[in-house]
């Protein structure tokens, strides 16, 4: 029996994680669930899975959740925790073995660090947490004695491909990228697109932030940095390849020229299940890949001219220190502004490049210095957006 905490249970990854748990009711116990403000959905999950504790963003949501639970009359009632402290308490809960880290953005960074310090197995979806806190998270993991098993589809594929392989045999990692909602448009055509257009991912149904990131290619930029930290591979040995179908999630090329790829239908329940069970592979009822029906898989090179954000990821990753945290934080602000109609889609990369240009880095930041870099990047990005918007 694995005892699980899900941070971000009401989101796309969280809901699919609960679907995986429901597929294997004998194998899991849900110890804790956390969300921001979705009290109704969280109450449903509490009634279905009976966690001992839950955490929400603020007191108002805690009250709304208590009322929802009372109205539903499900028992026993969980302890309701609040704010970052509440998320941290769940992440280090003594009864939990596995913490699914699926909050979005920097909001998941401190709880993920706490899970690492407490020696948990971390099923990591929240790539921004690792991108922002890289070295600190790895150090906490090594002190705590736990491990990270990636949920992100590309990194799950690399993790699976590397199982049992000696490190010295790795030549390069190849992460695939769908190209996002605008993959058939030129850069010139991007001036006309809207946030609603960007939210239509060609292959995956995901939360809004990662869907926008897919369209700008910031998702792949973050994933390159994520792969560097997860697999300790230099940036020069991490490549990105456009792949229309999102069926091949990643490949590993070995020194001898052999290449391993991991394939599945684009459905996050596969990497989620693997992260929860690794290295076991129990059978499930999820849709099977039928390559005879798919017929053809398409691949193309990804260029910095078409996708400048991708190269901002390499730039920030190679520069290291506080740069990845700054890129990720500025991007969070940009995505929010884009969704609210305060920033044009085509303006995102220039904004992010300007914030990187203005940053005064710290080489091996402490947590306090990372928090400060995150705060600075948000303010800098917001200031530049406001200035451009006001004319
Ligand atoms: N969706 C996918 O298929 C994939 C996602 N990922 C990564 O997984 C992470 C989660 O993505 P996804 O599930 O799509 O995101 P969603 O937006 O669907 O869900 C986010 C979850 O985090 C909670 N949340 C949002 N903001 C905050 C905050 N400020 N403080 C605390 N909790 C918050 C939400 O709660 P509430 O519902 O109450 O707002 C929700 O439970 C991201 O880092 C993403 O990049 C990686 C690969 C694939
Ligand atoms: C499902 C998943 O892992 C996402 O991060 C996915 O990679 C997004 O798709 P693209 O970034 O390839 O468009
Ligand atoms: Mn991914």
Domain ranges of the chain: 2-150, 167-268+293-389
Distance 108 CA to ligand 2 centre (A): 19
Place of tokens 């905490």: 5
The pLDDT score that the predictor gives to residue 75 is 86
Residue 391: is its pLDDT beyond 70? no
Q: State the pLDDT confidence band at 76, using cuts at 50, 70 and 90.
A: confident
The pLDDT score that the predictor gives to residue 11 is 98
Residue ranges for the known binding site for NADPH are 10-13, 36-37, 126, 128, 207
Cross-strand pairs, 6: 33, 100
Nearest CA to ligand 2 atom 1: 153
Give the DSSP letter of residue 208.
Answer: H
Q: State the pLDDT confidence band at 390, using cuts at 50, 70 and 90.
A: low
User: What 3-state DSSP class applies to 137?
Assistant: helix
* Closest of 319, 385, 320, 322 to residue 352, by C-alpha: 385
| Helix (H) / strand (E) containing 19 | helix 12-23
The pLDDT of 59-74, averaged and rounded, is 96
Distance 87 CA to ligand 1 centre (A): 14
The pLDDT score that the predictor gives to residue 248 is 98
Q: What angle do CA 127, 131, 134 make, to 5 degrees?
A: 120
Which residues have C-beta within 8 Å of that of residue 60, sequence separation ≥ 6? none
Instruction: Report pLDDT digits (tens) over 155-213.
Output: 999 999 999 999 999 999 999 999 999 999 999 999 999 999 999 999 999 999 999 99
Is residue 43 within 8 A of residue 31, CB to CB? The reply is no
**10-24, 122-136, 146-160, 187-201: lowest mean pLDDT where?**
187-201
Residue 138: is its pLDDT beyond 90? yes
Radius of gyration of the chain (CA): 20
Residue 71: is its pLDDT beyond 90? yes
Give the DSSP letter of residue 360.
Answer: -
What is the fold of 167-268+293-389?
A: Rna Polymerase Sigma Factor; Chain: A (1.10.1740)
Which residues have C-beta within 8 Å of that of residue 214, sequence separation ≥ 6? 177, 178, 180, 181, 201, 204, 206, 220
Give the DSSP letter of residue 205.
Answer: -
Instruction: Identify the CATH homologous superfamily for domain 2-150.
Output: NAD(P)-binding Rossmann-like Domain (3.40.50.720)
The pLDDT score that the predictor gives to residue 30 is 98
């Amino acid at each position: 029996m694995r005892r699980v905490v899900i941070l971000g249970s009401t989101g796309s990854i969280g809901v699919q994680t609960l679907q995986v748990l429901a597929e294997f009711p004998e194998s899991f116990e849900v110890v804790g669930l956390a969300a921001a403000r979705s009290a109704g959905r969280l109450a449903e999950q509490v009634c279905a899975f009976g966690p001992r504790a839950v955490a929400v963003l603020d007191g108002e949501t805690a009250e709304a959740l208590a009322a929802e639970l009372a109205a539903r009359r499900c028992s026993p009632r969980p302890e309701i925790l609040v704010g970052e402290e509440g998320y941290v308490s769940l992440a280090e809960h003594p009864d939990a073995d596995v913490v699914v880290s699926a909050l979005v953005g920097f909001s998941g960074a401190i709880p993920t660090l706490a899970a690492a310090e407490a020696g948990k197995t971390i099923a990591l979806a929240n790539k921004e947490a690792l991108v922002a806190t890289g070295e600190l998270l790895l150090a906490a993991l090594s002190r705590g004695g736990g491990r990270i098993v990636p949920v992100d589809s590309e990194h799950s594929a690399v993790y699976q491909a590397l199982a049992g392989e000696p490190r010295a045999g790795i030549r390069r990692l190849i992460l695939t990228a769908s190209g996002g909602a605008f993959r058939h448009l030129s850069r010139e055509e991007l001036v006309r697109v809207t946030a609603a257009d960007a939210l239509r991912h060609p292959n995956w149904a995901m939360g809004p932030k990662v869907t926008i990131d897919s369209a700008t290619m910031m998702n792949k930029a973050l994933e390159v940095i994520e792969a560097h930290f997860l697999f300790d591979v230099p940036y020069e040995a991490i490549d990105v390849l456009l792949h229309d179908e999102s069926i091949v999630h990643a490949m590993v090329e070995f020194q001898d020229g052999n290449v391993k790829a991991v394939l599945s239908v684009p459905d996050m329940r596969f990497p989620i299940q693997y992260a929860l069970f690794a290295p076991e592979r129990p059978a499930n009822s999820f849709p099977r890949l039928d390559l005879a029906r798919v017929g053809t898989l398409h691949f193309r090179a990804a260029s910095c001219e078409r996708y400048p954000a991708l190269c901002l990821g390499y730039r920030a990753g190679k520069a290291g220190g506080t740069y990845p945290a700054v890129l990720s934080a500025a991007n969070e602000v940009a995505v929010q502004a884009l969704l609210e109609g305060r920033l044009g889609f085509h303006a995102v990369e220039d904004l992010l490049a300007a914030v990187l240009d203005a940053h005064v880095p710290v080489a091996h930041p402490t947590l306090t210095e990372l928090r400060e870099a995150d705060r600075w990047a948000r303010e800098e990005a917001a200031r530049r957006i406001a200035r451009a918007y006001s004319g």
